[in-house]
A = this chain, B = another copy of it.
Amino acid sequence: MSVKQYIQENQDRFLNELLDLLRIPSVSADPKFKNDVFAAADFVKESLIKAGADKAEICQTAGYPIVYGEKIIDPALPTVLVYGHYDVQPADPYELWDSPPFEPIIKKTERHPDGAIFARGSADDKGQFYMHVKAFEAMMANNALPCNIKFMIEGEEEVGSENLDIFVKENLEKLKADVVIVSDTHMISMEDPSVTVGLRGLAYMQVEVTGPNKDLHSGTFGGAVANPINTLCKMIASLHDENNHVTIPGFYDKVEEYSAAYREELNKAPFDLEDYKKKLDIAEVSGEKGYTTIERVGIRPTLDVNGIWGGYTGEGAKTVLPSKAFAKISMRLVPNQDHKEIAKLFEDHFKSIAPASVKVKVISHHGGAAAVVPTDSPGYRAAEGAIMEAFGKKAIPTREGGSIPICALFQKVMGLDPILLGFGLDTDALHSPNEHYGLKNYFMGIETIALFFKHFKEEANK
């Protein structure tokens, strides 16, 4: 039996195993799901052993554990390191989900006529890293594993991967590999398969603005005492100028300006602006002046408020002049922008623009560097070869707006360019209610990943 046949014959089981994993609410950001995050780690370890790993272990960290597994068939052969994460984003707001986020169901959609799995984590990243476990099983079951394989599946990707950072630095020998492969990104479409070659970095901040020392009656004091919400709004508004450039001094200092030729190449990727606006139900896109939508998410840094709160937010009216207002603000970064430096620039600037009538606190939640992957490596060529064989098309290299902070670490500490071979779509509602992942994407992904191993052995030996 071929690997491809094996995958087809085991589709039902491959799907049901993933659904079991999706039923575990492994939300790393919220301590109330702590036991579930640990349970998900156990699930991953067991699945590696069942798939054929020589060993699989739960590696404890100061936070959530890293699951490590390996199958070394011959030290002389090339080694592929698979990275993924078993933690998921919070599912809030629950009321916007059409079905409960941790009770996966299959439904057809316009872009997934064969059905998609609706569940938090289906695309990010349980459904995607689990393709590697199943591709590994399929190769093992058919005596067709062409390279050594190592797995490193973490539980803190959605909260900054701080402990993975330490783990990688302390386990360089154990993790030694010739390439690292990550399926945690999306492709343009099943008709236009693509490989991500750029990811943005991230600096995630939280700010607190305090006006008076207690909530006040907005009649007795309104107009005479600074309102921290009005003040926070003014401060946030001032972080962009009229062209939507970020106004933090030094923010763009290290941002690379690309040549007209490079930008032209980037804009050749299939993209339909009218369709994009229609899907999001917006009349206009909005972003930095002088750049296209593809450039705005691919090669430009941004600043977004991810959450804001203060004062009375219940039913009806309360005439309060609140003591405090809060916001979560994150910046997506591009190569060369250091997230710690940007976090510091933000903090200094935010404090400097606060009027004397309020006090300001700034804390940094987490961050990570951007990454750009070259397209002339054996790993990239192997990804191209696998996609050509599975999809019959040449992969389009794309730059994606999201962040996988650990990618920069792979490059800096391990000297490995990560191959970002993702199979989700940008309409899969990652980090949103009703996240889903196409069944066809899942099964084609497993097949393509198995082909990647075959091509990588060939490319590595060239």
Contacts and interface: CB of A to CB of B under 8 A. Distances in A.
Which applies to chain A's interface (DSSP): helix, strand, loop or mixed? loop
Interface in A179-230: 186, 200, 202, 204, 211-227, 229-230
A328 interface: yes
Contact of A314 (B90, B226, B303): B90
A335 interface: no
Assembly stoichiometry (copies)? 2
Contact of A434 (B214, B232, B327, B402): B214
Contacts of A222: 297, 302, 304, 330, 332, 401
B365 A317 contact: yes
A444 B405 CA distance: 67
A458 interface: no
Contact of A286 (B90, B285, B309, B355): B355
B319 A212 contact: no
Contacts of A229: 236, 304-308, 327
Contacts of A29: 314-318
B220 A402 contact: yes
Nearest to A228: B305
A275 interface: no
A285 B328 contact: no
Contacts of A305: 227, 229-230, 233, 310-311
A160 B220 contact: no
A330 B318 CA distance: 9
Contacts of A304: 218, 222-223, 227, 229-230, 321
B214 A429 contact: yes
A9 interface: no
Given A282-B357, A284-B355, A357-B285, A216 B317 contact: no
29 contacts: A90-B312, A92-B312, A92-B318, A96-B215, A212-B281, A218-B332, A219-B400, A220-B297, A221-B280, A222-B302, A222-B332, A223-B296, A223-B300, A225-B280, A226-B282, A226-B286, A229-B236, A229-B305, A234-B237, A305-B311, A306-B311, A306-B320, A307-B318, A308-B308, A308-B309, A309-B310, A313-B328, A317-B328, A320-B431
Interface of A: 29-31, 89-90, 92-93, 96, 158-160, 186, 200, 202, 204, 211-227, 229-230, 232-234, 236-238, 240, 280-288, 293, 296-297, 300-322, 325-328, 330, 332, 355-358, 365-366, 400-403, 426, 429-434
